[in-house]
A and B are shown apart, each in its own frame.
Chain A
Amino acid sequence: MNPAPSIVFFTTASGAGYGLLFWLGLLRPMGLLPQAPAFALVCLALALLLITAGLGSSLLHLGNPGRAWRALSQWRSSWLSREGVAAVLTYIPAVLFGLALLQGATGLATLTGLLAALGAVVTVWCTGMIYASLKPIVQWHHPLVAPGYLLLAAYTGMALLAAVSALGGVVGGPASFIITLGLAGAILKLFYWNTIDGLRPAATLESATSLGAIGKVRPLDPPNTEETWLMREMGFRVARKHAASLRRIALAVGFGVPIVLALLASQVGGGLALPALALAAIAALGGMLIERWLMFAEATHTAMLYYRGA
C-alpha cells in the first residue's frame, strides 16, 4: 500500500498527541505528575497542537477536503467516521480541561481530564480499527494492529510527557514508564513483523479468477500498458532488504535510543535529564514515522493478485 506522507504524519503526530492527553488526564489526578497548572497547560497545549496538526494533515489526503464534515455522519458502520466523531468530541473535555486549569477548578479539571483521556483512547482505537477491519490487506487485518496503534500512541505520548516533566523537575517516574512502554512496543512490533512475514495473501489468483479448476494461473497480458491509480495505491512495494533494514532502524531509533536515554536520565539525572528526555521524545517520534511508513509499505492488497499473480 502507498505510504501517503499525509497519513504517516497524521497517525504519528495525532497518536503522540492523544497519548500525551491520555497520560496527562490519567496521571495528574493520581499525583504522579508536577501539580503546577502551568505544567498541565504546557502538556495540554502540546497535545492539542500535535492532534490538530495531525488531523489537518489527514485532510490533505482527501480529494475533497472541503467536504470533510460529511465524514462525521456514518459512525454506525464506518471506523473512519467513528474516528472523526471521536476526534471532534475529544476536543470538548480537552478544552474544558484547559479552562478548568486556568480557573483553578481542581474537581472540574480532574473530571474533564479523565474524559479527555477516555476520548483519546477511543479515537486512537478507531484509527487502528480503520486498518484492522480491511480484509483484503492481510498485514492490517491482524489482531495486533489496533492494540499496536494504542500502545505506540501511549509510548510516544509518554516520551513527550517525560520531556515536559523534566522541565518541572520530575524525572524518575515518567522515565521508567518510557522504558516499560518502549520494551512492550518493541516486543509487539517484533512479534507483529515476525507473524506478517509468514502470511499468505487473503486470496489466490486461482480463486480471484475462478480458474483454479484448470490449474495454476499466471498473468499473461496486463489490462493497461501504463501505470494506473490502482497500481500506485495498492501496488507500492518496498524491496525486502530495505524493509529489513528499515525495521532495524525503526527499532533502534524508535525504541532503543529512547530507552537508553530514559535509563540515563533516571540514573544520572541532574542537568542531563532534560536534554536526554527531550532527545528521547524526538527519537521516539522519528522512529514511529519509519514504523508507520513501513506499516503501509509492507502491506499488500488482494487487488494486486490480478496484476502480479502473487
Chain B
Amino acid sequence: MTMLPERPIGAKALGLVIDLDTCVGCQACATNCKEWNASGHSGPLPDIHPYSAGAEGTWFNRVHSYEAGEGAEGRTVHFPRSCLHCETPDCVTVCPTGASYKRAEDGIVLVNADACIGCGLCAWACPYGAREMDEVEGVMKKCTLCVDRIYNETIPEPQRQPACVLACPTKARHFGDLADPESNVSKLVAERGGQPLMPELGYNPVNRYLPPRQRPVQAEAYEDSPTPMDIKNPLLRWMDRVLTR
C-alpha cells in the first residue's frame, strides 16, 4: 500500500497554487484550516496548553514571512507552507505500516490514522516539514487537501474547496487539477511562471508558488526641496521665496 500507485491515464493531480504576490500573511488560511480539520478527516488536531505559556499544537499550514533581495529590489514575502502532495513522495514509501498513502485517482497524500504507529519516519522523509505528530493520539497528521470538503455533496458546490482557499481574503490561494493543462490553476501557473519548491530533491511537488510580480522601476530618489518653514534664517527664507517665483 505504501508503494506509489500506478496512476490511471487522465488521473487528476489535485493541489494548490499559492500567489506570493498577493499573500498578506494574515494567517486566515492557517486558522480556517485548523478550524475545519480539527473535526475533519484527520481530526482532532490537538492543542497543548492552549491558554497558557507553551501553547502549541498540530497545524497543517504554517505561514512564514521572509525578506528577499536587497535594497530597492528587496521585499517582504509571506509564505504559507503546507503539504505539496508530491508526485513521488518519500513520506509514503518509507511508511512501514501502509498508513501513509497516495491516492491513485487524484494524487492526494493521506494518513490512515487507524494504522499509523507514530514512528515519525515519514516526517523525517519530508523535506518540507509538512507533517506534524499528534502527540496526544501518537499518530502522524498532515494536510488532507480537505478531502472531506472537496467531494462533499452535503455542502453547496461553491464551498467544495479546501478551507484555506475559501478563507483567503486576497484570493492568494487557488485549488484545482494541475494535471489538466486547461484548468484554471494550470493556466495561472503557465501565465505567472509558477514554481515548485526544492525541485533539486526530486519529489516532484504538485503545488506551485506564483512569484511576486516585478514592480515598476522607481524613479531615482530625489532630494526634497525645503519648504519655507524649514528655513530658519529670515534672509535665506526671503531669498528662497524670491527665487522660487
Contacts and interface: CB of A to CB of B under 8 A. Distances in A.
Interface in A52-75: 61-65, 67-68, 70-74
Given A65-B117, A80-B94, A301 B54 contact: no
A229 B66 contact: no
A136 B124 contact: yes
Interface in A147-194: none
Contact of A211 (B20, B92, B196): B20
A88 interface: no
Interface string A182-223: 000000000000000000001101011111011111111111
B64 A230 contact: no
A64 B113 CA distance: 10
Contact of A73 (B97, B119, B125, B202): B97
A205 B77 CA distance: 13
For the residues of B in contact with A, the DSSP-based class is: loop
A302 B198 CA distance: 9
B127 A136 contact: yes
B1 A74 contact: yes
Most-contacted residue by chain A among B30, B138, B212 (CB, 10 A): B138
Interface residues of B, number: 70
A72 B201 CA distance: 28
Q: Which among B62, B98, B127 has the highest number of chain A CB atoms within 10 Å? A: B127
Contact of A230 (B116, B119, B123, B201): B123
A304 B70 CA distance: 23
Given A67-B117, A74-B1, A216-B68, A211 B211 contact: yes
Interface of B: 1-3, 20, 25, 30, 53-56, 58-59, 62-70, 73-77, 79, 81, 90, 92-99, 115-121, 123-129, 132-135, 137-140, 195-202, 209, 211-212
12 contacts: A62-B117, A63-B138, A64-B116, A64-B138, A70-B97, A71-B96, A74-B95, A135-B202, A210-B196, A216-B68, A218-B68, A223-B30
- Which 4 A-B pairs rank lowest in CB-CB distance, beginning with the nearest? A63-B118, A63-B138, A303-B129, A215-B69
